[in-house]
Chains A and B, each alone.
Chain A
Amino acid sequence: AQKVTQAQTEISVVEKEDVTLDCVYETRDTTYYLFWYKQPPSGELVFLIRRNSFDEQNEISGRYSWNFQKSTSSFNFTITASQVVDSAVYFCALSENSGYSTLTFGKGTMLLVSP
């Protein structure tokens, strides 16, 4: 069974629009971490945020915000006022206590922001 599901394969928006990337996860562990990574065309995965299973407080960092809801096993990511430089593939990932630091990634969502 897929542990991290990113149902949106590709999203296209126009600059300055807000966009939300969805992530649904599955785990039996009570201790786990969720991550978002960004992969620009250069290929390097860039860390954006990490949340642990005991902290459901939502977070805002500049134009980025994250909504973590254990009740629905979701960890969604919103970009406010998108910019062309936000164009990339975004991955949601899970690190479970039983798997130590190994990351299980979703298939990614490609975000295209046009001017």
Chain B
Amino acid sequence: EAGVVQSPRYKIIEKKQPVAFWCNPISGHNTLYWYRQNLGQGPELLIRYENEEAVDDSQLPKDRFSAERLKGVDSTLKIQPAELGDSAVYLCASSLNGEVGTEAFFGQGTRLTVV
């Protein structure tokens, strides 16, 4: 069974440019997460989807970040415009459901460098 697939693995952009990350979750998983991991830190939630509905986006910087999960499967996270402080690893994860204690499966992440 395929795991969570993310692309691209690496991205280098200049500040003020837009960037997008793509995530394909495990088949059958209703819940999808985007986490951001800064260097030397643990991942922090940006947004959580239940099917196509964003149920927790309280930590998403909405002035420059946007996300969508069309048809409740694949998801895209966008930053426009990017800032130097956005350099981080962006991790996508999925789980069967959003109940407390449900195991989340993570992709390999996209490492973003903003120069």
Contacts and interface: CB of A to CB of B under 8 A. Distances in A.
A96 B100 contact: yes
Given A101-B102, A102-B48, 18 more contacts: A4-B42, A32-B100, A32-B101, A33-B100, A43-B111, A44-B3, A44-B107, A45-B43, A45-B93, A91-B43, A95-B100, A96-B100, A101-B31, A101-B98, A103-B43, A105-B42, A107-B42, A108-B40
B55 to A, nearest CB: 8
B108 A42 contact: yes
27 contacts: A32-B101, A33-B100, A35-B103, A43-B108, A43-B111, A44-B106, A44-B109, A45-B93, A47-B104, A50-B101, A52-B101, A91-B43, A93-B42, A95-B102, A96-B100, A100-B55, A100-B99, A101-B95, A101-B97, A101-B100, A101-B104, A102-B33, A105-B42, A106-B42, A107-B41, A108-B40, A108-B42
B89 interface: yes
Contact of A102 (B40, B42, B45, B108): B45
A58 interface: no
Interface residues of B, number: 30
A8 interface: no
Ranked 7 nearest A-B pairs via Cβ: A105-B42, A33-B101, A45-B106, A101-B102, A44-B108, A101-B98, A100-B98
B14 interface: no
Nearest to A92: B42
